[in-house]
Structure 1
Amino acid sequence: MSYHSIVIRVFLVFLPLFLWAQENSISFLALGDSYTAATSEKTENGWPYHMVDYLLKKDIPISEPVIIAGPGWTTTTLMAEVKSAPLKNTYGLIGLMIGVNNQFRGLSPEVFETDLLDLLDTALGLANGDSTKVFVVSIPDWGVTPFARFRDKNRITQEIAAFNQIIQSQAEKKHVLFIDVTKSSRNMLVQPGLIASDSLHPSARMHKIWGKIIGKKLLKQL
C-alpha cells in the first residue's frame, strides 16, 4: 500500500470524528466595539480568540468566534449591526463588551442602560433564553493610556465606573455572568507593553490576559 493510500485511509477514518467534533462544539458569538474587534491588533489576537484558546486547552469544545464588533461603536450602533447581521438562530455562548464609546462621546447613562437592556434581551434570545450561555464584560479604563494624557483622567475613571455599575446591575437582574477586566486594564498605566501602537487600545498581551480572565470565569459554568 502506498504512502498516499495510507494517508487517505487515515483521513477517512478520522473524518467522521472531526465532523462530529465540529457539530458538537459550542458556537460562540462575541458582540462589542473596538475592544472585542481587537482594534490596532490582528483580529485573532483579540480576547475572543484567546478565550477560545484557553477553553480548548481545558478540553472545552468551542468553535472559533463569530465577531460582530467595530471601532467607535456605541450600544446603538451595535444593536443596528446585530439586527442586520446574518446570524444563526441560536448560539451556545454569547459575550457582550460594550459602552466605552457611549462614555467617550458623553452619551447619557440612561440611554446606555436602555440600549444595554435591549442588547441583553437580544443575546438571551439568541441563547434560547438560557442566561448561563450569556456573559458581559466590563469596560476597560482607557484613562490610564497615553491617549488620555491631556484629558481629565479622574473623570474618565469615574464615568467608566458608573457605566460598569449599570452593566453589573443589569447583568445580575438578568442572571447573566458579569466579568470584570477593568482592574486588569489599569496595569496599562505601568506596563507599556499592554498598550497597542496607537497609544489607546490594548495590545495582544493585554487581550491574552483578558481572554484568560474570561475563560477562567466561564470554565465554572461550561
Structure 2
Amino acid sequence: MKLQVYLLPILIIAGLSCSNAPTNSQEQSTLKVFTPLETIEEETIPKGLDTIKYLALGDSYTIGQSVCGTCRFPEILKRDILKNIDSISNFELSIIAQTGWTTTNLINAIENENPNSHFNLATLLIGVNNEFQNKPFSLYQSEFPQLVNIAITKAKGNKDNVIVVSIPDYAYTPFGQGNPNISANLNTYNTFAKNYCDTNNISYVYITDITRLGIENPNLVASDGLHPSELAYSKFVQRLLPVAIEKLKKE
C-alpha cells in the first residue's frame, strides 16, 4: 500500500528537558499527519467511520526522543490501525508532547494549543519527568486526573475513547544503571494512575514490564542509552492495538 504523508507543523513549544537527559533540538512538539489511502484491508471498523482522528499526549516517550519520526509509538499505532480498517479516507494524528515535560508542562501546552474536541481516540503517557525532576508526588496526584479529564474532553467527551499508558522504567537503561529507587518511585506513580483509571472505568495499558527488559535486551533501548527504541515502541503497540481497535469499532 503506497501512502502519501503530509506533515503540517502546527506549533513548536520549548519544553523543559531533563538536565542529564539527551534532547533533540529539531523535535516538534505538535504535528498533524493526513494519510490518504489507496488500498484497504480487512473490515474491522464500521464503514460509517471514514476519518480517524487520534490525539497523543505526553512527553519524550510519546514524541519518541532519539528514534525516527515514524518510529514513535503513536506512528506505529497509526500504521497498525490502518492495517485493520475498512473504508477510511483520512487518518489525522495530532501529537502534543515534548522531552522533559511534566504534568504541569503538558497541561499548559494543551491549553496553548487548544485542539478541538472531535478526536476518536486519545492516549496519555505522562509522569516520568515529575519523578525525574523530584516534583512532589502530590502534584501528580492533582494533575494526572486533570489531564485524564482533558483527554476525555478532547475525545468527544467520551472516556471510552481514552487510553492511559503506564510510565516506562528508565532504571533498566545504561542511564538508569539499575537504580532500584527509580523503579520504586515509578511503581508509586503507575499504581496511582492504574487505581484512578480502574475506579473511573478508563482503559489503562501496562507496558512498564517491557522496558524492564532493557538491560538484558539492549535492543529495547534507543541509541541515547535512556529512551525506548523502535523495537520497544512496537511492543507497546502490540498491547495498545487491540484496545484501540475495540474502541474505534464503537465509533
Residue in structure 2 matched with residue 26 of structure 1 by the alignment: 52
Question: What per-residue deviation string (whole Å, max 9, x for no partner) do you get for residues 109-158 of structure 1?
Answer: 21101111111111111123211101100001100100012xx7111111
Change (3 A) 1:174 1:43: farther
Is 1:179 matched with 2:228?
A: no
SS across alignment from 1:201: coil
Is 1:200 matched with 2:226?
A: yes
List runs of 5+ in structure 1 lacking aligned partners: 1-14
SS across alignment from 1:139: coil
Q: Which has the larger radius of gyration?
A: 1
Write out aligned runs for 1:90-129 (5 A). 90-129=118-157
Q: Calculate percent identity across the aligned residue pairs.
A: 29
Residue in structure 1 matched with residue 18 of structure 2 by the alignment: none
| Structure showing greater relative contact order (alpha-carbon pairs closer than 8 Å, 6 or more residues apart) | 1
Q: TM-score, normalised by structure 1?
A: 0.85
RMSD: 2.2
SS across alignment from 2:116: coil
Is 1:216 matched with 2:216?
A: no
Q: CA deviation at 1:89?
A: 2.8
Is 1:188 matched with 2:231?
A: no
Count of residue pairs the alignment pairs up = 203
Q: Which has the higher strand share?
A: 2
Answer whether contact 1:145 1:199 (CA < 8 A) is retained.
yes
Residue in structure 2 matched with residue 42 of structure 1 by the alignment: 68
Return the letter of the residue paired with 1:66.
S
Kindly report structure 1 stretches of 4+ aligned residues shifted beyond 6 Å. none
Answer whether contact 1:54 1:212 (CA < 8 A) is retained.
no
Residue in structure 2 matched with residue 144 of structure 1 by the alignment: 172
Structure 2 CA distance for aligned equivalents of residues 183 and 125 of structure 1: 30
Structure 1 CA distance for aligned equivalents of residues 91 and 231 of structure 2: 22
Structure 2 CA distance for aligned equivalents of residues 187 and 146 of structure 1: 12
Question: What per-residue deviation string (whole Å, max 9, x for no partner) do you get for residues 162-203 of structure 1?
Answer: 000111111123321000000111121211111111100111
